[in-house]
Amino acid sequence: MQIGELIKDWPCTMKGSIRVEIKRVEDDANLILPGDAFIARKGNNSSGISYIDSALEKGAAAIVVDDENYFNEADLPVPIIWVPNCLSFIAYASAKIYNFPAEALTVIAVTGTNGKTTVTHFIGQILNQLDKRAMVIGTNGVFIDREKCYPEMEALTTLQAKNIQFLFKEAIRLDVPYVVLEASSIGLEKHRLDHCDIDIGIFLNVTEDHIEDHGSFERYKLSKQILSTLAKKNIINSDDSVCRSIGLATKGKRIFFGKGSHVDYFFQTLVDGPASTTCCIQHKKEKHIVNIPLVGDYQCSNVLAAISCIAQLDFPLSDICNTIGNLVLPEGRFEHVENQLGLSIVVDYAHTPDAMKMILQTLKKHTKRRLIVMFSCGGNRDKAKRPKMGMIASIYADYIILTTDNARNENPQQINKQIREGFSSTQEYIECLNRKEAIEHALNYAEKGDTIVLLGKGHEKTQQIGDKQKYFSDLVFVREMIRQLEKRRLNNH
């Protein structure tokens, strides 16, 4: 595509030939290929302008900046374009180069502090059971019909616009008509979902998280609210007060779900069992009794969000409800680890106060004996939530093991000290900074009938300490430890 065609509908100023051919747009100088336009956007720690020489050496055919002074002074061997906002432009340019692929798809975007991964996967699974192909994009990776693919994609909740548009084009090529993706507050604020032609936006919940990234809770809420302007139709959790306020402020079509009054899709828990929940799902005068193979009101709410979404795609509610008994949680979400030790062991990604409260409430309700909780908090992130998570853990846990999460550039002992500020004075706990040793301690400390929950990492396969990432998986290591303990006990008998 010629530069002139790429920028003709976008506000910009240009120096150089409009006839230069552009193959792709790219904002990482290391990934530039000959014929690419390099988008010199501002990063968290540096500016893309610093990498223009590198991009030119690799064959960049054009440079895009949003620094007016640099544009005015620059004398480059290739065309240079000034745009008001590089992040907004890369979303538009990526969509245009791929010929706006989202217009040929049904795109569903799910936002919320907690539950995005679970709900996107539920929607994908229901569509599959209704004989429809679906791509799911989010924290756990990219999946087509539940098979993981495109492992080279970077691990982001909401991918960069250039990658989203590429995947939309792939969905068309592979004849996958539905794309379900997670919409993070940061992804929305950084324009990654602009020009995605979103058919349905889903709002699950909005509680405190990423406050340091956004500056305040109000700005965090406003970033979430962007989805309501991008989606043609919005599905809102009426049980969450912030979501409800967003829904009431939304001008487009909106659908409400929840267990309260005045909702379009309603659920009532009939039987709350240790391994499943029986609910009544109601829409207008239509009622269905469904057995959800999950526990906890928050999981029922996640299921109802998925049901409401699929129903808005004009599938019969009765057909949708017939699929619910087969739903499976994504990896690292309330994942039970099988064992012969007489223990209930759960691995979960919960890393916010609200998510922690929901899972610990549910586990405490169904724990036969003691609840043993292992967790910490991530470094360089939301320090205010640490004592809150400590308080929540202390309310529900009989025994707490403080360990190390992705400490990044903070001292894990200092992180844990801030967590302990929320503990009750009688809380029994131990600090074990080595995460492997913490899991080993949990298994050795536990007795038959106890529940162990390993929080914070879920599906993750790496741990970041300082600037280095090393391989680590709670799921892999706890299974390895269980096998050793089972073998040891078998030999002792």
Terminal CA-to-CA distance of the chain, rounded, Å? 72
Q: How many other C-beta atoms lie within 10 A of the C-beta of residue 138? A: 25
* 128, 121 Cβ separation under 8 angstroms: no
Q: Is 114 annotated as a binding residue?
A: yes
Question: What backbone torsions phi and psi does residue 252 show, to the nearest 5 degrees?
Answer: -75, -170
Report how far apart, in Å, the C-alpha atoms of 8 and of each of 11, 81, 176 are.
Answer: 8, 12, 31
Q: Is 201 annotated as a binding residue?
A: no
Report helix, strand or coil for 409. coil
The string of DSSP codes covering 251-296 is -SEEEEEESSSS-SEEEEEEEE-SS-EEEEEEETTEEEEEEESS-S
Q: Is 234 annotated as a binding residue?
A: no
Q: Is 115 annotated as a binding residue?
A: yes
- Tokens (6 digits) for 425: 């004075």
The H-or-E segment that residue 452 falls in is: strand 451-455
- By the 10 Å C-beta count (0-12 exposed, 13-18 middle, 19+ buried), 452 is classed as buried
Q: Is 185 annotated as a binding residue?
A: no
Q: Is 192 annotated as a binding residue?
A: yes
- Tokens (6 digits) for 428: 């029994």
The string of DSSP codes covering 119-140 is HHHHHHHHHHHTT--EEEEETT
Q: Is 332 annotated as a binding residue?
A: no
* 34, 78 Cβ separation under 8 angstroms: no
The H-or-E segment that residue 470 falls in is: strand 468-471
Question: What backbone torsions phi and psi does residue 238 show, to the nearest 5 degrees?
Answer: -70, -20
Q: Is 462 annotated as a binding residue?
A: no
| Residues placed in the known binding site for ATP | 112-118
Binding residues: 112-118, 157-158, 184, 192
